[in-house]
Amino acid sequence: MCRAGEDAPISRVGDAAAAGTWRLGDLTVNRIGLGAMRLTGDAAFGLGGPSDRGRAIRVLRRAVELGVNHIDTAAFYFSSLRSANELINTALRPYPDDLIIATKVWPGRDSSGEWWWATPAQLRGQVEENLRQLGRDHLDLVNLRLPRRRVDSVGEHFEVLAGLRDAGLIRHLGISNATAGHLAEARSIAPVVCVQNAYGIGAPAEAHALLRVCGEQGVAFVPFFSIAGEGREVDAAAAEDDVRVRAVARAHGATAAQVRLAWALHQGPHVLVIPGTGDPDHLIENVAAGSLRLTDEELVRLSAPVPEDE
């Protein structure tokens, strides 16, 4: 493990357990997971060009070899020829006993790629779709993914998921793209084990506040776009423009992406990162970020507002 100021780079091959573990209800996960969104092709949320199927399967199998036991997916992660759930099924079934697969419902996409949003009565169909695609008799974790437009209440939708949890189709529940108010409402209905929101260096004050609330309540905080930054689904490389990130990366012999992941992990023991990639080399680098320890000075610098001249 490299400290600031040392010349040796961090190890390229790490273990997902290097960053420690957290419990999602009664399930223990390593804090570095894998997001399946980028396994299907070159468009994050579109049909786009399909990925190389064999390479995507190799990424999934390599992830498990590196200790990743938390994979985030959704039935709406698909390209013109690839489905994230089908790739996971093919690559990893029969599933390792310690593997937790998290999925999301409420949004959906039809075969043409057009988006639609489920009514409470349609949520069971979305859950069953994930079950079929993954080849499971229950789902480890289902996140209720809220629309980007403001939603005042999650009650009707979350009550349906709570009923499916009671029926044994779902083991644990979470919410995504949510506020502290949504979390409080959901917890009044059923236990919530995680909040999955956009979060990374440069996140607004309300995002930091929600992360703290989750920590106080023992709820995992699972950031997405922790490398690319909020709203940068397409151009993840743009996030590397921050000169502070590049400076810290040079000091550790690391990449900017590794610094961003390490910074997120340093925000609390309840933070679980799920960087997505379809590239085996990027996977190795992402997992190795769990061994990167930032100094207090570096954390303060990276957490400060970006100077206007940067």
Catalytic residues: 77
Q: Which amino acid does the sequence have at 222?
A: V
For residue 199, what are the contacts with CB-CB under 8 A and spacing of at least 6?
207, 211, 221, 223, 224, 225, 226, 230, 264
Alpha carbon distance 293, 19 (integer Å): 9
